[in-house]
Amino acid sequence: MGDIWIDRLTLHVPGLSESDGRRLARLVADGLGAVGAAGRGRDIPSLRLNLVAKPNAGPDELARHIVAELLQQVRRLP
What is the rounded CA–CA span in Å between residue 37 and residue 33?
Answer: 9
Q: Would the pTM count as exceeding 0.85? A: no
Which are the contacts of 1, defined by CB distance < 8 A and separation ≥ 6?
A: 36, 37
Average pLDDT across the chain, whole number = 81
> Where along the chain do its domains lie?
18-76
Instruction: Kindly report, residue by residue over 7-45, the tens digit of the pLDDT.
Output: 777 888 888 888 998 999 999 988 888 776 555 566 777
What is the rounded distance in angstroms from the CA atom of residue 66 to the CA atom of residue 43? Answer: 20
